[in-house]
Amino acid sequence: MKSQFNKTMNVVDVLFLAIGAMLGWGWVVLSGEWVSTAGFVGSIIAFVIGGILVIVIGLTYAELASAIPETGGGFVFVKKAFAPGIAFISGWSVLFGYVSVITFEAVALPTVIDYVIPFQHQGLLWNVAGWDVYLTWVLIGSLGSIILTSLNYFGVKPAAVLQTVFTIFIVAVGLLLVGGAGFNGDFSQLKPFENGAGGTLSVLMMIPFL
Reported as a single tens digit per residue, the pLDDT across 66-102 is 898 888 888 899 999 898 999 999 999 988 888 887 7
**DSSP string of 106-173, one letter each residue:** HHHHHHHHHHHS------EEEEETTEEEEHHHHHHHHHHHHHHHHHHHH-HHHHHHHHHHHHHHHHHH
What is the structure's pLDDT at 52? 93
Reported as a single tens digit per residue, the pLDDT across 167-178 is 888 788 778 877
Average pLDDT of the chain to the nearest whole number: 82
The model's pTM: 0.64
Q: Is 104 exposed, middle or buried (0-12, 13-18, 19+ CB in 10 A)?
A: middle
Mean pLDDT of 160-172: 82
Q: How many CA atoms lie within 13 A of 165 on its CB side?
A: 7
- Inter-axis angle of helices 156-184 and 84-116, to 10 degrees? 50
What is the structure's pLDDT at 56? 92
Residues 6+ apart with CB under 8 A from 115: 28, 173, 177
What is the structure's pLDDT at 22? 75
Region of 134 (left: φ > 0; alpha: ψ -120 to 50; beta: rest) is beta
